[in-house]
Amino acid sequence: MAETSEKQSALSKFLAWFWERQKATGLSDLAGLNIALSVPITQPVLDDLLGNAPFPEMIRSFRLRFVGDDLILLEVALNLFLFKTTIRAEARVERYVAFPQEPVLKLTVLTRGVVEMLLNVVPLPDWIKVEGQNARLDLGKLLRDGGQEWLISILRDVRFHVHPGVLHLSGRLVGPEAVPVTTGQNSNAATMPR
């Protein structure tokens, strides 16, 4: 068991070193990279991520639950003066996010009435905007605020699929374009005729 743990630790250290090196060089070693990926994000992982996010004082807790069939349940516990309440709103996820042009996850709020009204007036984090039934989670701002803005330029075809207890994130990582190396005026670099 200890041997497996040591191997995992060594691999983890190597991958962390490699990734930091790539970020420092502008991902130049990854020119032309095109990798399809699928990442399951479980409820406990999301809870940990949201637990570290800054929220306005009046929000006691903020939780997203993966219900399934591309539905999520938003639970916001509020302190409104002497009044404490929890808002629960169900929303449908629009699966496609246009990275890097518009890194925003769009939701349609399905819950109506007082909950819909409260979502429009409660001071949510600045990366969440609600207008009527439409909600926008600005993933670009979230990444920039977390110091991960470099991810915006390499993510493509990002899709979200919600299943009970898990969110599947899929997409592509695209490295920077390869730049042809030339060695002076008499370079043998081929050019395409027009």
pLDDT above 80: residue 167: yes
Q: Please give the DSSP secondary-structure letter assigned to residue 177.
A: P
Q: Do residues 150 and 22 lie in contact, with contact meaning Cβ atoms separated by under 8 Å?
A: no
Tens-place pLDDT, residues 131-162: 888 889 899 998 888 888 888 888 888 888 88
How does the average pLDDT of the chain come out, rounded?
78
Q: Give the mean pLDDT of 59-88.
A: 85
Cα(88)–Cα(81) distance, rounded to whole angstroms?
Answer: 19
The sheet that has 155-163: what strands, in order across it? 34-42, 166-174, 155-163, 96-97
Nearest CA to 136 among 111, 157, 119, 114?
119
Q: Do residues 170 and 134 lie in contact, with contact meaning Cβ atoms separated by under 8 Å?
A: no
At 2 the pLDDT is: 63
- Provide the residue ranges of all domains of the chain, joining segments of one domain with +: 33-173
Q: Please report, as a single letter, which amino acid is at residue 192.
A: M
Report field, pTM of the whole predicted structure over 0.75: no
